[in-house]
Amino acid sequence: MSVTRIETVAALRERLVAVRHAGRRIGLVPTMGALHQGHATLIARARRECDHVVVTVFVNPLQFDRRDDLERYPRTLDADVALCDSLGVDVVFAPSAAEMYPRPMRCTIEVKELADHLCGAYRPGHFAGVATVVMKLFEIVQADVAYFGEKDAQQLAIVRRLVADLNVPISIIGVETVREADGLAMSSRNQRLDQCERKLATALFTALSTARAEIESGTQDAERVRAAARSQIPSDERLRLEYLETVDPETMQPIERILEPVIVAGALWVGTTRLIDNLRAAPPSL
Ligand code: AMP
């Protein structure tokens, strides 16, 4: 195995000093592990574009609003390290929670309006937790480039704004969502679905695709778009649509009259698992 597994901030810093001094371009891929083909796509892109690739695997307690979700989050570190090795990753940084948070945090990143809608409205404190850990990882790794998935569109918009507002010297690259053959967005949480739930889970992509088709065919009224999308969710006691919204791709504010490209985003509970997904959609040009 040629990948190096590092668990402490000090050891990672020590290793990266030499890399940086050699003028090598460092790429960072932050993850929570249980790696799948979506993560692999981000990592492969980093490998192509950077000299030294650091993948972080850290299930960040600060961003979980529900204890059961944190406890049930899949953890497969040995397999993750093996996958990273096969993809030519240089370093896997997998710190413990105590290493990342040795004392209670008294200074954190506050996220304003960008977190008011979509997941932010349903997961109190989630994006403050995300922004804080991402900022810590940026400071620890001091990478030139970081890779994030468009699957988490609100997270990506927040990270882009975090970097702009706080003058962080790093480029942010968004990578298109990787899907299963039936359209389901790949996610570590998909592992929790049983066979029946797995079939039901495609309803989210179907609903979002319907919304996109409505917008592309010229429907401007967001409520009509949402109604068409919602009608695609089968009535099944295991399915509960938490939200389905059309928002501005940068500000993440709801758009009620669709005259510009938007993101259609949704969250669907499938049994006890919460899945999110989104699609870009643009009205037909006039
Ligand atoms: P996570 O481990 O779920 O926190 O994800 C780590 C990174 O991988 C985030 O930037 C995600 O947006 C990205 N990611 C997760 N799933 C996918 C996917 N299906 N396609 C593309 N990127 C993804």
What's the 80 CA to ligand 1 centre distance in angstroms?
14
Ligand 1 atom nearest the C-alpha of 176 is 21
DSSP H or E run through 130: helix 126-141
CA dist., res. 140 & res. 214, Å (int): 44
Rounded to the nearest 10 degrees, the angle between the axes of helix 9-21 and helix 126-141 is: 50
Question: Residue 149 has what pLDDT?
Answer: 98
Tell which atom from ligand 1 comes closest to the C-alpha of 29.
7
pLDDT for res 286: 56
The per-residue pLDDT for range 105-133, each reduced to its tens digit, is 999 999 999 999 999 999 999 999 999 99
Residues forming the active site: 39
CA dihedral sign of residues 163, 67, 57, 15: positive
Read off the DSSP letter of residue 51. S
Q: β-strand 262-270 against 239-247: which pairing, if any?
A: antiparallel
Residues of the chain with pLDDT under 50: none
CA dihedral 254, 257, 261, 267 (to 10 degrees): 40
> How confident is the model at residue 78, as a pLDDT?
98
Question: What is the model's pLDDT at position 87?
Answer: 98
What are the φ/ψ torsions at residue 34 (nearest 5 degrees)? Answer: 50, 55
Distance CA 247, CA 154 (A): 10
Query: What are the pLDDT digits (tens) for 174-192?
Result: 999 999 999 999 999 999 9
Probe residue for ligand 1, chosen from 152, 162, 163, 173 as the CB with the greatest number of ligand atoms within 8 Å? 152
Beta carbon of 42 within 6 Å of any ligand 1 atom: yes
Those residues whose C-beta lies under 8 Å from the C-beta of residue 260, and which sit 6 or more positions away, are 248, 282, 283
